[in-house]
Amino acid sequence: MKARILVIDDEAEIRRSVRMILEYEGYDVQEASSGPEGLALIEREPPDLVFMDIRMPGLDGLEALQKIRQINEALPVVIISGHGTVATAVEATKLGAFDFIEKPLASERVLVTIRNALDSTRLQDENRTLKRAVEARYQMVGESPGLRQIWDSIKRAAPTNATVLLLGESGVGKELVARSIYRNSLRSRERFVQVNCAAIPEELIESELFGHEKGSFTGATEKQVGKFEQADHGTIFLDEVGDMSAKTQAKVLRVLQEGEVERIGSARTIKVDVRVIAATNKDLEAEIEKGNFREDLYFRLSVIPIKVPPLRERREDIPALVRHFADLFGRDNNRRPQRFTAAALEFMQKARWKGNVRELRNTVERLLIMTPGDVIDVDDLRDVVRADSRPAAAPEGATAAPNHLSPNTLREFKESAERKFLVEKLRENAWNISKTAEVIGTPRSNLYKKLEQYAITQESDG
């Protein structure tokens, strides 16, 4: 697409020569003969770049520049400076002009400067889009009192260096809370290193966390820098901290107490300055009782404990979360946004969500895939919202059949889609089995088999 450039200059001759240079290069050029005229054009139809004289009668370039900044902060402005106005032009760059060019205008210089200015804004745009995408991904949605309390804790804990322990059921958003603390902390420009203590095999976790020297054990063919060292000056997120072995617990305790690590196979201790955020879905006090978790480590970790409440205790957040996930999904897949009806949202608000926000998110994505239309209504939910997650008193006879479970695997997904398809076709054919079998092109015997397999009956359809 052609970039549009607005030339503001009181001298018609300058405007004409600039227009010639720019149009020859394929730019779209607009002209204004005064500051106010230029500002009006910018407000009406923002150009991609402004090329402006610094000395004009009435509103001069500097004032016009400040006004442009108020209208559009990101619009690049290149200043034309005449003999004796270079100092003012320099001033203009301090006020946010991209660059200035001295008269007489050399076409090469004009073109290079404009190209640079356009490139830099394009880059800025891309950065902004990227940053916004990352922010949307880690955005914490919800206004419930439960969540607002979490926000208060985040704001209080973030700027300190205190260790935070995040507690709560699986899928409630502990990782999001950890990232929010990090982003709002004084260490937000340093690294955020995440370790999932449950996912790393026991024999590797120490070397993951603390590193090892080359040849320190069989298989250690290269030296490895541990996560604590990687996180130096930054933040380490110890996820599923309740799943660490006794031996690892002892070592982690030592880092917290002494602020130093030792690589496996090395006698040298290394000082590290790391802020620790830990999370677990286990009841650590019960684990202490059972002798599975060290009490001293628990005290060290839970300087600031934050308990993230399960979704069922903050159902007010569900509609906003559903919309948020639908938006994210639509953006990721370049799809038109689909809308949930009020009835559908209400149905979802009453469901149990044992898997908390994660389950809600997966369900929304599945619904978006499985529903062909633009609108998702209660009917579309019946086969998708997990049977054990449905409201106890399901509306309009939505009964839980054993095969409605939410799909986690491709096979479950196929089955779930197949079931939905069959129910729809049966409805269309007034539950006439022979007719339906014919329409969908399968032997009657096969359809009967499927009905049995998926526990589909006319009654179960409400």
Ligand X SMILES: Nc1ncnc2c1ncn2[C@@H]1O[C@H](COP(=O)(O)OP(=O)(O)OP(=O)(O)O)[C@@H](O)[C@H]1O
SS3 content of the chain, % helix, strand, coil (to 5): 50, 15, 35
Tell me the two tokens of residue 416.
């779930």
Other C-beta atoms closer than 10 Å to the C-beta of 152 total: 11
Among 173, 211, 234, 310, binds ligand X (CB under 6 A): 173
CB of 141 to Mg ion, least distance (A): 17
Tell me the two tokens of residue 184.
């709002």
Q: Give dist(CA 275, CA 349) in Å, integer.
A: 37
Q: Give dist(CA 349, CA 397) in Å, integer.
A: 17
The piece of 169-177, 214-222, 252-260, 388-396 that touches ligand X (CB under 6 A) is 169-177
| Nearest residue to 238 via CA among 205, 194, 303 | 194
Amino acid of residue 97? A
Binding mask 159-178 for Mg ion (x = CB under 5 A): ----------------x---
Comparison of 115 and 155: residue with beta carbon closer to ligand X: 155
User: Is residue 340 within 8 Å of 326, Cβ to Cβ?
Assistant: yes
Among 15, 174, 350, 390, binds ligand X (CB under 6 A): 174
Comparison of 141 and 381: residue with beta carbon closer to ligand X: 141
| Nearest residue to 317 via CA among 366, 353, 341 | 353
CB of 281 to ligand X, least distance (A): 4
Residue 146 is a binding residue for ligand X (CB under 6 A)? no
Among 11, 102, 175, 213, binds ligand X (CB under 6 A): 175
Q: Give dist(CA 428, CA 407) in Å, integer.
A: 25
Binding mask 104-123 for ligand X (x = CB under 6 A): --------------------
Comparison of 142 and 407: residue with beta carbon closer to ligand X: 142
Among 29, 172, 272, 367, binds ligand X (CB under 6 A): 172
CB of 324 to ligand X, least distance (A): 6
Residue 361 site contact among Mg ion, ligand X, none (CB < 5 to 8 Å, cut-off depends on kind): ligand X
User: Of residues 343-362, which lie at the interface with ligand X (CB under 6 A)?
Assistant: 357-358, 361
> Binders of ligand X: how many residues, by CB under 6 A?
17
Tell me the two tokens of residue 68.
């442009």
Return the H-helix or E-strand segment holding 301: helix 295-301
User: Is residue 387 within 8 Å of 405, Cβ to Cβ?
Assistant: yes
Residue 436 site contact among ligand X, Mg ion, none (CB < 5 to 8 Å, cut-off depends on kind): none
Comparison of 212 and 324: residue with beta carbon closer to ligand X: 324
Residue 171 site contact among Mg ion, ligand X, none (CB < 5 to 8 Å, cut-off depends on kind): ligand X
CB of 128 to ligand X, least distance (A): 21
Number of H helices, E strands in the chain: 19, 16
Binding mask 300-339 for ligand X (x = CB under 6 A): ---------------------x--x---------------
Q: Give dist(CA 300, CA 293) in Å, integer.
A: 12
CB of 265 to ligand X, least distance (A): 32
Q: Give dist(CA 179, CA 127) in Å, integer.
A: 20
Comparison of 75 and 278: residue with beta carbon closer to Mg ion: 278
CB of 129 to ligand X, least distance (A): 20
List, as one string, the DSSP characters of 66-112: HHHHHH-TT--EEEEE-TT-HHHHHHHHHTT--EEEESSPPHHHHHH
By residue count, the chain amounts to 462
The piece of 53-61, 81-89, 136-144, 265-273 that touches ligand X (CB under 6 A) is 136-144
Q: Compute the CA torsion angle 104, 109, 110, 116 (nearest 10 deg).
A: -150
Residue 357 site contact among Mg ion, ligand X, none (CB < 5 to 8 Å, cut-off depends on kind): ligand X
The piece of 91-99, 166-174, 258-266, 329-337 that touches ligand X (CB under 6 A) is 166-174
> How would you label 187-205 residue by residue, b for 16+ Cβ within 10 Å and e otherwise?
beebbbbbbbbeebeeeeb
Three-point CA angle 184, 187, 192, nearest 5°: 90
Residue 440 site contact among Mg ion, ligand X, none (CB < 5 to 8 Å, cut-off depends on kind): none
User: Of residues 53-92, which lie at the interface with ligand X (CB under 6 A)?
Assistant: none
Comparison of 195 and 351: residue with beta carbon closer to Mg ion: 195
Which parts of this chain interact with ligand X (CB under 6 A)? 140-142, 168, 170-176, 281, 321, 324, 357-358, 361
